Amino acid sequence: MKIICLAFLALASISSISSTQTDRYQTRTGSISFEASVPTFEPIRAVNKSTTVVLDMKTGNIAALALVKGFRFPIALMQEHFNENYIESDDYPKAVLKGTLSNFDANGFSQNTSTTFILNGTLELHGQKKMISIPVLLSQSGENIQLESNFNLKPADFNIKIPSVVSNKIAQEVQISVKAILNKK
């Protein structure tokens, strides 16, 4: 009888764990790119293709983590200046986004549809936390969910100092683009 009870408990815990796991979608290969270019000067853009993104389908909570040194620039000197002089990635090694999709209902979100939600939460960058509200487009196809978002940030809001010598070569608002294909976990 003890063996039957233990087997039943083990089965119950496994099914409980597996049902919890199917409510989460995630990736470690999300892409964040930014552009801070201004006309007539050299383009300033970079991409990070190793961003972790997790979506909880029960709550609509999203969390994303990007290592700042993961951003790649077309010019090595730009990357060095970005990490050492602007973002100070040795002191502030990661960017973290946490929030909840407003009006999110996993039951109302169906296969082969695209829906835009507003993500309300916080972005931590360069040691500063800022409340944000950004659009997030979710599309489900098969077992995957595609996530996309485009928004602007001001370096000054995160206490990122741009030297006056180059301030006219860098945009006051940086365009951010996020893309990720999330897999069921």
pLDDT of residue 15: 38
pLDDT of residue 152: 97
pLDDT of residue 22: 56
The residues pairing with 144 across neighbouring beta strands, listed in sequence order, are 141, 183
Burial (0-12, 13-18, 19+ Cβ within 10 Å), 116? exposed
Q: How far apart are alpha carbons 53 and 12 in whole angstroms?
A: 29
Q: How far apart are alpha carbons 24 and 53 in whole angstroms?
A: 10
Least confident of 91-95, 161-165, 178-182: 161-165
Asked if 149 and 182 count as a contact pair (C-beta separation under 8 A), the reply is no
The model's pTM is: 0.84
Task: Phi first, then psi: give them for residue 169, nearest 5 degrees.
Answer: -100, -5
Residue tagged 């000054």 (tokens):
156
Asked if 168 and 38 count as a contact pair (C-beta separation under 8 A), the reply is yes
Q: How far apart are alpha carbons 12 and 131 in whole angstroms?
A: 40
pLDDT at 90 over 60: yes
Q: How far apart are alpha carbons 10 and 78 in whole angstroms?
A: 55
The residues pairing with 141 across neighbouring beta strands, listed in sequence order, are 144
Give per-residue pLDDT as tens, 120-151. 999 999 999 999 999 999 998 888 999 999 99
What percentage of the chain exceeds 70 in pLDDT? 88
Mean pLDDT confidence for 107-114: 76
Asked if 27 and 76 count as a contact pair (C-beta separation under 8 A), the reply is no
Give per-residue pLDDT as tens, 1-55. 444 443 344 444 433 434 444 589 999 999 999 999 998 889 999 999 999 999 9
Least confident of 55-69, 82-96, 161-175: 161-175
Q: How far apart are alpha carbons 112 and 147 in whole angstroms?
A: 13
End-to-end CA distance of the chain: 34
